[in-house]
Structure 1
């Protein structure tokens, strides 16, 4: 990826990792655990986080100047998702991926 800076590539990687983690955790851990893990607000947040991460990575890969706005929103959703997954427990990988993505996206949005 010749036109992508190291900082941007790191953010793309972390967004895709978070996308995979949120979607995978929601579809396996949350659905299988049930209860609070499948309550609409939590489940929607995880789906929104996964999609926002995928979208942020896509905008950076397009080298769109709009990636800054998308990354800003992605950071906000990831931080919210990390907090909610931490509150419910048992989703440490998702919490870690969301926090790393949020930090990376904040840097890209600056």
Structure 2
């Protein structure tokens, strides 16, 4: 098994948390709230964010050298998702998880 840095383990944790928060909020909070919360662009972005976070975590867990690329994309998608959730409103947990993940992924992508 490959040795994992503390920074990478922290990024994996942030990615997994963001995945869970985005997926849960999309499927529960957004679907129940309706209106702006389920507009296609916002809803797709939340699901895309959950998926790229899971993928980035998986790439790091496998020890793939390509994790830098997935993390770069993940940081970009997380930032976009945070902005969208902020605009929709009443989604601070998602905003915070996305921003934390974006910051961790930027470090991994460098």
TM-score by length of structure 2 reads 0.98
Output one character per residue of 1:11-51: Cα deviation in whole Å (capped at 9) or x when no partner. Answer: 00000000000000001110000011101100000000000
Aligned length: 110
Equivalent residue number for residue 52 of structure 2: 52
Deviation at 1:3, TM superposition (A): 1.3
RMSD: 1.0
Instruction: State the alpha-carbon separation in 2 of the partners of residues 86 and 96 from structure 1.
Output: 10
User: Which blocks of at least 5 consecutive residues in structure 1 are unaligned?
Assistant: none
**Aligned pair 1:81/2:81, yes or no?**
yes
Structure 1 residue ranges, 4+ long, deviating more than 6 angstroms after superposition: none
Residue 21 of structure 1 aligns to a residue in which SS?
helix
Equivalent residue number for residue 103 of structure 1: 103
User: Which blocks of at least 5 consecutive residues in structure 2 are unaligned?
Assistant: none
Equivalent residue number for residue 13 of structure 1: 13
